[in-house]
């Protein structure tokens, strides 16, 4: 018989947490991704744009948004290459996350894909593309084609 020193007790009831995130009020965002469009919300009253899209305007306290198409061209402000991932992303490493600024107005955080490591640098011109990953549409950054 194994001797138990009782230095610890492993809990036998495990808890698994998976959430249904309500996205009904901004479902248009993903419907637009299906049409290969990246869009966001703009307040009809005060013209403030929000990204990520939201249905409420905190500036004028109204919930009266219109959906506007976003420009897909941006400039890279910062990035990192993730080498040690969270458990659920272990199969995806290494990946590069970056924040790009569109017309100095909206910034978008997303993966940077299809760009060799040594070509990624702050200030580089990028564009948004929409890809399907694990049955889901996701927006990503990639290098913009430049005319040289």
Partner 1 sequence: MEKVAIVGVGHSKFGRRTDLNLNELAFESIKEALIDARITSKDIEHVTVGTMGGLSEESLPAVVINEYAGFNSKGLLRVEAACATGSAAIREAYTNIASGLCDIAIAIGVEKMTQVEGSTAIEMLGRAGSYLWEFENYGLTFPAYYAMYAIAHMKKFKTTEEQLGLVSVKAHKYGAMNNLAEFQKEINLDKVLNSPVVSWPLRLYNSCPVSDGSASVVLASEKAAKRLTDTPIWIKGLGAASDTANLSKRQSFTEIKSTSKAAEMAYKMAKISPKDIDVANVHDCFSISEIMAYEDLGFCKKGEGGKLIENKDTYIDGRIPVNLDGGLKAKGHPIGATGTSMIVEITKQLRNEGNKRQARIKNGIGLVHNLGGTGHTCYVTILSQ
113 binds partner 1 (CB under 8 A): no
Task: Work out which of 34, 46, 52, 125 binds partner 1, going by CB under 8 A.
Answer: 52
Which is nearer to partner 1, 91 or 148 (by Cβ)? 91
Residue selected from 46, 62, 80, 105 as contacting partner 1 according to rule CB under 8 A: 80
Give DSSP secondary structure letters for the chain. Answer: -PPP--S----S-----------GGGTHHHHHHHTT--EEEEETTT--EESS--S--TTT----EEEEEPP-EEEEEEEEEE-S--GGGGGG-SEEEEEEEETTTEEEEEEB-SS-GGG--TT-EEEEEEEEETTEEEEEEEEPP---
* Residue 31 lies near partner 1 (rule: CB under 8 A): no
99 counts as binding partner 1 under rule CB under 8 A: yes
Q: Closest approach of Cβ 1 to partner 1, in Å?
A: 25
Sole window of 34-42, 62-70, 91-99 interacting with partner 1 (rule: CB under 8 A): 91-99
The footprint of partner 1 (CB under 8 A) covers 8, 11, 21, 23, 51-52, 77-89, 92, 95, 97-99, 107-111, 121-123, 133, 136, 138
């Amino acid at each position: 018989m194994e001797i138990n020193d009782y230095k610890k007790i492993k809990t036998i009831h495990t808890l698994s947490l998976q959430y249904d995130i309500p996205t009904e009020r901004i479902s248009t965002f993903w419907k637009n991704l299906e049409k290969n469009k990246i869009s966001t919300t703009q307040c009809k009253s005060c013209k403030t744009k929000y990204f990520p899209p939201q249905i409420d305007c905190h500036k004028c306290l109204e919930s009266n948004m219109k959906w506007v198409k976003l420009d897909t061209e941006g400039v890279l402000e910062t990035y990192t290459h993730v080498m040690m991932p969270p458990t659920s992303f272990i199969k995806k490493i290494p990946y590069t996350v970056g924040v790009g600024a569109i017309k100095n107005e909206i910034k978008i955080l997303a993966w940077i894909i299809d760009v060799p490591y040594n070509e990624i640098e702050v200030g580089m011109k990028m564009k948004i593309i929409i890809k399907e990953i694990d049955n889901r549409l996701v927006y990503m950054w990639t290098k913009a084609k430049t005319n040289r």
